[in-house]
């Protein structure tokens, strides 16, 4: 990827919404299967939820901390960092840990998170462990991970700039990632250009129809509430169909 495909202003606006809201827009514009593709299939843990969502382009790396033989690749760290530096930011480092599910060592800690922050990375999704959570937070480096651990073991880049699988989901280098405490969405390249408009529209659609209908029920009988909710659901669907030719969630 030679240049980001979206203006940085669009990325900043995407960051204003949580990942489920971005998914709600994405499912209206994608040709992929929104029941199976793009999002994490397994549970993730956001260790810095106070930092809010993160948005960036994926740089990918595979590790196997249990295997010290990888350390014979003497210049692997240098070549891996050269790859990370060559990709325009903001970047999210997506790490596949071959030791899963028995992860024993952390790729991330205070030093590596600061180094990657210097290279334009805003955070990571690692299907393995992290350590130094407070120090990573102080560096402004967000992490979604499987668990915490104490040591780094024999962690070393094994390969990079390749497809990885994290939390049951394949991620390609250069994919736009939106992630927060709910999980992550790896956006197919063909869906990027319409994503912001779709997310903004679907969020407004909820605010204009089903949410006020659900909250504006004071003094109504049960039958009236049910009628009101049904009418709002129809209005929501009509707006989605008019915009995307799809029904939306309701």
107 and 141 housed in the same domain: yes
Amino acid 4: pLDDT: 57
Amino acid 1: pLDDT: 47
- From the list 204, 243, 225, the residue with the least C-alpha distance to 29 is 243
Do 177 and 125 contact (CB within 8 A), yes or no? yes
Please say which residue of 170, 189, 208 terminates a domain.
189
Between the CA of residue 156 and those of 70, 77, 122, 174, what are the distances in Å?
6, 7, 21, 22
What tens digit of pLDDT does each residue of 91-122 get?
999 999 999 999 999 999 999 999 999 999 99
Residues of the chain where predicted confidence (pLDDT) is lower than 50: 1
Residue 70 lies in a domain: yes
The residue segments making up the domain with residue 113 are 8-189
Residue 1 lies in a domain: no
Residue 250 lies in a domain: no
How far apart, in whole angstroms, are the C-alpha atoms of residue 216 and residue 224? Answer: 11
36 and 110 housed in the same domain: yes
Amino acid 71: pLDDT: 86
Average pLDDT, the chain: 95
Domain count, the chain: 2
């Amino acid at each position: 990827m030679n240049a980001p495909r979206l203006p940085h202003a669009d990325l900043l606006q995407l960051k204003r919404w949580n990942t489920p809201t971005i998914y709600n827009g994405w499912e209206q514009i994608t040709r992929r299967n929104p029941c199976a593709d793009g999002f994490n299939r397994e549970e993730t843990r956001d260790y810095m939820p106070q930092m809010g969502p993160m948005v960036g382009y994926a740089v990918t790396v595979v590790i196997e901390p249990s295997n010290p033989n990888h350390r014979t690749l003497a210049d692997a760290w240098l070549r891996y960092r050269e790859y990370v530096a060559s990709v325009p930011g903001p970047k999210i480092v997506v790490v596949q840990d071959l030791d899963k599910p028995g992860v024993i060592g952390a790729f991330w800690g205070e030093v590596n998170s600061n180094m990657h922050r210097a290279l334009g990375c805003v955070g990571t999704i690692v299907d393995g462990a992290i350590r130094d959570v407070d120090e990573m937070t102080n560096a402004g480096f967000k992490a979604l991970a499987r668990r915490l651990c104490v040591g780094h073991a024999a962690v070393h880049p094994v390969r990079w700039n390749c497809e990885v699988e994290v939390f049951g989901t394949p991620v390609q280098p250069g994919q736009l990632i939106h992630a927060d405490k709910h999980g992550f969405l790896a956006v197919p390249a063909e869906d990027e250009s319409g994503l912001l408009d779709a997310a903004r529209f679907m969020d407004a659609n909820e605010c204009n129809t089903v949410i006020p209908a659900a909250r504006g029920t004071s003094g109504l009988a049960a039958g009236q509430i049910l009628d009101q909710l049904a009418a709002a659901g129809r209005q929501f669907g009509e707006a989605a169909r008019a915009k995307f030719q799809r029904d939306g969630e309701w």
